[in-house]
Amino acid sequence: MRTGCGVPQDPVTIQWRVRVRKGKGYVREPFTLAFLSMTVIASVSLGQAAENLLAARNPGFEKLTADLAEDGVRLKHGGIAYTNLPGWSLQVHSGEAKVNGDTKIAVEGENCLKFEILTEGKRTEVAISADVHNLKPNTIYELSAMIRPYGIDWVNSYFRFYEHDDERMVDSKHRRLINASTLPKFKRFSRRFVTHRNTTRGTLSIYWTGNRQRKGIITKKCMVWMDDIRLVEIGPALPLAVNLREGFEKDLSGWLIAEPGDGDDNNPKLSDEKAHSGKRSLKLSGTWGKVERIFSEEVTDSDVIIWFYDQPQKHSNSRMIMVEADHMRVGIGVKHKSQTNYTTYIEGDPRLIEITDIKRTTGWHEFRWAFSRGNGVTLYIDRKKVASSGRQDYFRSISLGCNGWQGFTCYLDDLMIVPKR
């Protein structure tokens, strides 16, 4: 947000009080900003400052019915979802789980919600969901929660967002819930979604899986604590992708960091170490790191082109570029199954992962996806056709750096989306 103002004669001072954690509690301390400038730029963390659209649904679980607050409730696969929690639905999709309030480790207020898998030796999935109305079409939303996991299967635990409109109900994207099986304390995790041009209502779900195991007299428990669930509006969605040109020269505005790097030094960032054109490119390093660009409408009859700088090394890691629709995705890049040749990936039943005859070499390589309405998509590496599929003839998002949790350093530059003439 920018607000213009005349040049002041003396520095302008703004002072407010902020809430700061000290020890086991919070104190309010003054924070002062002094400036002498023609323009004031205010930066706001929308995920924290914007209105929580779930505020009326007891998102901190402070008010619980007696059964939840005291002994808890048991949920079984195939049973009716527990709905005695206004605004929420709790359900187990396999096995059995217990849900109850917990006042011992709440992070916000005096209570939180605790989930514990009771079934032994069987993968169990637990979900908490909420129906949301009055959503805005073509809008970016962020769903977040304070979460503390213990012994869960984090790889198969997700945020999900189902869109509802007059014509369809689709799972717009899977968003991985967390990045660890166990954490010593609460941490806020968040994922963003983009509503379709017709979407005004949807269903939000946070679900996680685990496997309670017993070895002799020792039981390995699977539990998750949740608190302070939020849904906030971030802003208007990006326009249609046609004629997009991204040279990664200025910043990553318009991109969502879907998976941060394993440490700040490995977060996705712009770098001047390599460039296909201009002075900079997008650098992905470490074993994590993925960025996404999501559009509010489907795009077809277009080519997606990106340049990939490779530097082959002896490892079994992956970096894929995925062009995705609501349930489908097609990718080009490096998969751990082959470290000598490039690989293509086509979602579906069956899933097709093909090793191409194009050798990996150090330097820049052109990856291309040619989408044609009614015909599907054709994939090219360095202008040579390597795969095709009739399963997907449009896309809605682009993911850069999909890594299967085992990435390696690479550079991306000169992304283009070119409509067919």
What is the 3 state secondary structure string of the chain?
Answer: CEEECCCCCCCEEEEEEEEEEECCEEEEEEEEEEECCCEEECCCCHHHHCCCCCHHHCCCCCCCCHHHHCCCEEEECCCCCEEEECCEEEEECCCEEEEEEECCCCCCCCCEEEEEECCECCCEEEEEEEEECCCCCCEEEEEEEEEEEECCEEEEEEEEEEEECCCCEEEEEEEECCCCCCCCCCEEEEEEEECCCCCCEEEEEEEEEECEEEECCEEECCEEEEEEEEEEEEEECECCCCCEEECCCCCCCCCEEEECCCCHHHCCEEECCCCCCCCCEEEECCCCCEEEEEEEEEECCEEEEEEEEECCCCCCCCEEEEEECCCCEEEEEECCCCCCEEEEEECCCCCEEEEEEEECCCEEEEEEEEEECCCEEEEEECCEEEEEECCCCCEEEEEEEECCCCCCCEEEEEEEEEECC
94: Cα separation from own chain's centroid: 25
Lowest mean pLDDT among 69-78, 256-265, 342-351: 256-265
- Rounded to the nearest integer, the mean pLDDT of the chain is 81
Averaged pLDDT for residues 148-159? 86
Q: Give yes or no for residue 189 having a pLDDT over 80.
A: yes
Averaged pLDDT for residues 217-239? 87
Residue 35, pLDDT score: 38
Beta strand pairing status for 269-271 and 376-381? unpaired
Structure tokens at 48: 């924290």
Lowest mean pLDDT among 97-106, 238-247, 250-259: 238-247
Lowest mean pLDDT among 28-42, 197-211, 238-252, 372-386: 28-42
Q: Give yes or no for residue 15 having a pLDDT over 80.
A: no
Lowest mean pLDDT among 165-174, 191-200, 257-266, 347-356: 165-174
| pTM score, whole prediction | 0.70
| pLDDT band (50, 70, 90) for residue 359 | very high
284: Cα separation from own chain's centroid: 16
Express each pLDDT in 266-285 by its tens digit: 788 999 999 999 999 999 98
User: Residue 82 CB: number of other CB atoms within 10 A?
Assistant: 18
Residue 260, pLDDT score: 72
Q: Give yes or no for residue 357 having a pLDDT over 90.
A: yes
Averaged pLDDT for residues 328-346? 89
Edge-first strand listing for the sheet containing 187-194 = 73-76, 96-102, 112-117, 223-236, 139-150, 187-194
Taken in order of first residue, the domains within the chain and their CATH numbers are 2-43 (no CATH), 55-236 (2.60.120.260), 244-419 (2.60.120.200)
Residue 45, pLDDT score: 36
Contact 307, 293 (CB under 8 A): no
Hunting for tokens 């992708």 — which residue is that?
A: 241
In percent, the amount of the chain with pLDDT more than 90 equals 37
Express each pLDDT in 400-413 by its tens digit: 998 876 888 999 99
Burial of 211 (0-12, 13-18, 19+ CB in 10 A): middle
Structure tokens at 134: 């009055």
Question: How far apart, in whole angstroms, are the C-alpha atoms of residue 360 and residue 364?
Answer: 10
Edge-first strand listing for the sheet containing 319-324 = 256-259, 290-299, 395-402, 319-324, 329-334, 341-346, 352-359
User: Residue 349 CB: number of other CB atoms within 10 A?
Assistant: 6
Question: How far apart, in whole angstroms, are the C-alpha atoms of residue 100 and residue 162?
Answer: 26
Cα end-to-end distance, the chain, whole Å: 38
Give the best-scoring range by mean pLDDT among 1-5, 107-111, 344-348. Answer: 344-348
Express each pLDDT in 124-148 by its tens digit: 999 999 999 989 988 888 889 999 9
Express each pLDDT in 370-394 by its tens digit: 999 999 999 999 999 999 999 899 9
Question: How far apart, in whole angstroms, are the C-alpha atoms of residue 159 and residue 174?
Answer: 6
Phi, psi of 108 (to 5 degrees): -125, 130
Amino acid in the structure at residue 310: D
Residue closest to 180 by CA, chosen among 153, 207, 160, 158: 153
Express each pLDDT in 40-68 by its tens digit: 323 333 334 579 999 998 899 988 888 88
